[in-house]
Amino acid sequence: MAKDTIIITDADGGLGSSVTSALLKAGYMLRASAMHEEAVERLKSSYPEHYGNALTAVIADLGTEEGVKALLEGIPQPSGLVHLAGGYKPGNAVSDYSNDDFSFLMNLNARPTFLLLKHLMPSLKALGKGSIVTIGAKPALHPVAANAVYTASKSAVIALTMAAAEEGRPFNVRANCIIPAALQTPGNLSWASKEQFETFTPLQDIADTILFLMSDEGRGITGTTIPMYHKIAT
């Protein structure tokens, strides 16, 4: 069983719950970020046999250096990052977004990715191995007229991940970005029709892919964007 420690964000979220379960089952040690105490309590109740041992959580604002440092504190040699946290704000034309909307989405998606990579990459390079997986979004690869600023924020996630892959390549540090269109999360189930929901990507498919990328079996894969659109056409 693996005993590497992985940093995971949004571990209690719709996708995070499936990924956390898969990683714990595979034997990884997890340090999870939590937005508030309620998120910590969800993790404790969801994984009572693991919490406090294989799974620990820290309340951290990932949009600040202090928060990211607090998340990484006390872990001598983390060996990977699964960055699931992010968010969406609907928009239409570029002119429909306010400056505050732009700041909100960049702070939600791009800034945490930058700060996590900034503070984690030196440790992974010193360790001489590691795997990073981030989550992009389909519009970042296939831009449309709507959602321009959201697209830009997720494009930044992809660009930062690809740059980390090149920086880490000489040190056996890998970085890849999974690109979903829509996921079969409880939140999406609340608004999508049954027919729509069936076209969305199953959470277990994402979890299985992340597990592969974090494992030794995925050691030959770095610097890739992995579209996972399921039944949604490009």
Alpha helices, DSSP H only, in the chain? 14-25, 37-46, 65-72, 99-105, 111-127, 138-141, 148-168, 186-189, 194-199, 203-214
Q: Which domains does the chain have, with CATH numbers?
A: 5-228 (3.40.50.720)
pLDDT in tens, the chain (234 residues): 447 999 999 999 999 999 999 999 999 999 999 999 999 999 999 999 999 999 999 999 999 999 999 999 988 889 999 999 999 988 878 998 999 999 999 999 999 999 999 999 999 999 999 999 999 999 999 998 889 999 999 999 999 999 999 999 999 999 999 999 999 998 888 999 999 999 999 999 999 999 999 999 999 999 999 999 999 988
Residue type (1 letter), 197:
F
